[in-house]
């Protein structure tokens, strides 16, 4: 969907709905941005502890404002209270982790649950403060974007824009912190301060998001978009963009659907939208997605298998004819089968593939014969294999009886450049060399069957 049609679509709503939807989308974008650093710092769940820890702050702020004779439900006051206890929670997690034998997970669990328990106890107490209605406070738990009013939205927008600006200003420092914090500290960067700054940014997003997503699900806004974006790219800048876009789309979708179906919890729809995007990314994401990675592995495995097939055919001809130059004679299938230990069904499949690529032809008698191109390729592969073996024997002190196996691991990825270097190193130029070790004629005489790497 193009940007223009999105805008047109948004304009079709009432003025207020449009604002709420846009605000939630902006929140999603900011959360995606800040969450990226949280994810790369491997601190995703710290956001969960933080968001739960905001609840007592909301209750206390309500009580204090009521005691001062103000309206207990004014948003700025509540958000300040939430920020204070939220940050306090995070600092406590760090303190527990640094001063006891307890690990991360326990520290976060303790802070999260105890602060939340305190929060609901306080909310229950302040509910009965005379002259004030605390009824809206519980909407912070599940979120209710529709309850936002214009002044709330302005406050939220200002906070989010400030967060994005701050994030972009210390982009370089945050990047360094995420990728190599020990290097950062040896270079004199104040890593602890940077960590606290990152937490402050997370706090800003969390607190602002309480009203639309709720404190339980805001964590999904911080985690899911960056994790989904990670499957599409290895570049941080691209990842930041993608993560922000995914966050914005889920926020927009959630707020929009919940304006149509007001009885559905908006936070839940946002989280499910983000979850669906995550699932698609995890399966299809080109860089780290499960399916593309599987296909790449399969491709490599097949390439290696085909090279093994061609080399086996070449070696069998060598054994049969004894002298160079070799003539391209047919090779019986049975000989191929016993030359290497193939896995079940591997050989027929490889032969099919090689025939498709015109490297192999089937003779009328059932024997296999390398084609012109296949013969050349087989000679080249065998030569590379032996070059590498010789190199290992002369320069890496690998015993001749072991070298076949070691060479097997790398020969498939030797580039032309590398081959030239090897030739220069070993002072060899032309024909296919003799094998530096005895070629196993059949599997039985082989000390250990070669792996099909």
Partner 1 sequence: MTWTQNDTGILLVGILCAMACALPGCFLLLRRMSMMGDAISHAVLPGLAIAFLISNSRASVAMFIGAALAGILTALFTQWITKFGKVDRGAAMGIVFTTLFAIGLILIKKTADHVDLDASCVLYGALEHTPLDSVTLWENEGSILAVPRAALVVGGVFLFNLLIINLFFKEFTLASFDPALARTQGYRPMLMHYLLMMMVAITTVAAFEAVGSIIVIAMLIVPPATAFLLTRNLPLLIALSLALAALGAILGHLSSQWIPHLTGLPETTSSGMMATLSGFLFLLVWLFGPQGLLRRSSVQIEEPPAQVF
Interface residues with partner 1 (CB under 8 A) are 39, 42-45, 47-48, 52, 94, 96-106, 108-110, 112-122, 124-126, 128-129, 138, 141-142, 181, 191-192, 195, 216-217, 219-220, 223-224, 227, 230-231, 263-265, 267-272, 274-275, 278, 282, 288, 290
Six-digit token string for 104: 């991360």
User: How many whole angstroms separate alpha carbon 32 and alpha carbon 211?
Assistant: 17
Stated as kind and residue range, the H or E segment containing 370 is strand 368-370
Q: Based on CB atoms, which residue is closest to partner 1, 144 or 412?
A: 144
Residue 437 exposure: Cα atoms within 13 Å on the Cβ side: 23
Q: Based on CB atoms, which residue is closest to partner 1, 98 or 327?
A: 98
User: How many whole angstroms separate alpha carbon 34 and alpha carbon 197?
Assistant: 11
Q: Based on CB atoms, which residue is closest to partner 1, 95 or 169?
A: 95
387: nearest Cα among 434, 354, 318: 434
User: How many whole angstroms separate alpha carbon 210 and alpha carbon 85?
Assistant: 14
Q: Based on CB atoms, which residue is closest to partner 1, 290 or 329?
A: 290
Q: How far is the CB of 111 from partner 1 (least distance, A)?
A: 8
CB 189 within 8 A of CB 173: yes
User: How many whole angstroms separate alpha carbon 98 and alpha carbon 347?
Assistant: 58
Six-digit token string for 256: 């929009």
Q: Based on CB atoms, which residue is closest to partner 1, 275 or 436?
A: 275
User: How many whole angstroms separate alpha carbon 247 and alpha carbon 219?
Assistant: 12
Q: How far is the CB of 140 from partner 1 (least distance, A)?
A: 12
- Asked whether the CA dihedral 260, 265, 267, 268 is positive or negative, the reply is negative
Q: Based on CB atoms, which residue is closest to partner 1, 18 or 227?
A: 227
SS3 label, residue 452: coil
User: How many whole angstroms separate alpha carbon 435 and alpha carbon 385?
Assistant: 9
Q: Based on CB atoms, which residue is closest to partner 1, 199 or 392?
A: 199
Q: How far is the CB of 106 from partner 1 (least distance, A)?
A: 5
Q: How far is the CB of 69 from partner 1 (least distance, A)?
A: 17
CB 207 within 8 A of CB 47: no
CB 226 within 8 A of CB 35: yes
Q: How far is the CB of 146 from partner 1 (least distance, A)?
A: 15
80: nearest Cα among 64, 57, 59: 57
Q: How far is the CB of 54 from partner 1 (least distance, A)?
A: 13
Q: Rounded to 5 degrees, what angle do the CA atoms 4, 223, 247 make?
A: 5
Q: How far is the CB of 64 from partner 1 (least distance, A)?
A: 13
DSSP state of 360: E
Q: Based on CB atoms, which residue is closest to partner 1, 55 or 360?
A: 55
Q: How far is the CB of 265 from partner 1 (least distance, A)?
A: 5
Cα distances (Å, whole numbers) of residue 237 to 33, 168, 201, 245, 252: 10, 11, 18, 12, 23
As beta bridge partners, residue 331 has 368
Q: Based on CB atoms, which residue is closest to partner 1, 216 or 393?
A: 216
Q: How far is the CB of 129 from partner 1 (least distance, A)?
A: 8
63: nearest Cα among 54, 72, 75: 72
Q: Based on CB atoms, which residue is closest to partner 1, 23 or 285?
A: 285
Q: How far is the CB of 365 from partner 1 (least distance, A)?
A: 47
């Amino acid at each position: 969907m193009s940007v223009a049609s999105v805008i047109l679509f948004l304009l079709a709503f009432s003025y207020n709905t449009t604002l709420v939807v846009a605000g939630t989308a902006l929140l999603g974008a900011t959360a995606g941005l800040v969450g990226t650093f949280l994810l790369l710092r491997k601190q995703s769940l710290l956001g969960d502890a933080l968001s739960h820890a905001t609840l007592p702050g909301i209750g206390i702020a309500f009580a204090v404002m009521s005691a001062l004779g103000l309206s207990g439900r004014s948003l700025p006051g509540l958000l300040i209270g939430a920020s204070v206890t939220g940050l306090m929670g995070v600092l406590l997690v760090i303190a527990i982790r640094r001063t006891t034998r307890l690990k991360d997970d326990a520290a976060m669990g303790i802070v999260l649950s105890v602060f939340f328990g305190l929060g609901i106890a306080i909310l229950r107490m302040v509910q009965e403060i005379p002259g004030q209605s605390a009824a809206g406070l519980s909407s912070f738990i599940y979120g209710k974007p529709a309850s936002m009013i214009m002044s709330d939205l302005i406050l939220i927008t200002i906070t989010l824009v400030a967060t994005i600006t701050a994030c972009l200003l210390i982009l370089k420092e945050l990047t360094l912190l995420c990728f190599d914090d020990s290097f950062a500290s040896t270079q004199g960067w104040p890593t602890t301060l940077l960590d606290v700054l990152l937490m402050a940014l997370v706090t800003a997003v969390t607190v602002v998001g309480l009203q639309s997503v709720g404190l339980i699900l805001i964590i999904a806004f911080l985690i899911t978009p960056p994790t989904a974006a990670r499957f599409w790219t290895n570049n941080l800048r691209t990842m930041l963009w993608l993560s922000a876009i995914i966050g914005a789309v889920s926020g927009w979708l959630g707020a929009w659907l919940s304006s149509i179906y007001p009885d559905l919890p908006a936070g839940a729809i946002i989280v499910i939208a983000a979850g669906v995007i995550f699932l698609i990314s995890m399966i299809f994401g080109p860089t780290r997605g499960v399916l593309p990675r599987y296909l790449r592995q399969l491709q490599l495995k097949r390439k290696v298998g085909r090279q093994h097939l061609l080399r086996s055919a070449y070696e069998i001809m060598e054994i049969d004819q004894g002298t160079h130059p070799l003539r391209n004679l047919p090779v019986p299938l049975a000989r191929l089968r016993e030359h290497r230990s193939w896995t079940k069904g591997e050989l027929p499949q490889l032969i099919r593939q090689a025939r498709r690529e015109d490297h192999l032809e089937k003779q009328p008698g059932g024997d296999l014969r390398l084609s012109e191109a296949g013969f050349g390729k087989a000679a080249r592969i065998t030569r590379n294999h032996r070059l590498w073996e010789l190199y290992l024997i002369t320069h890496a002190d690998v015993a001749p009886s072991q070298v076949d196996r070691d060479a097997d691991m790398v020969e498939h990825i030797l580039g032309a450049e590398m081959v030239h270097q090897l030739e220069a190193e070993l002072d060899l130029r032309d024909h296919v060399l003799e094998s530096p070790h005895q070629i196993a004629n059949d599997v039985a005489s082989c000390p250990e069957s070669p792996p099909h790497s």
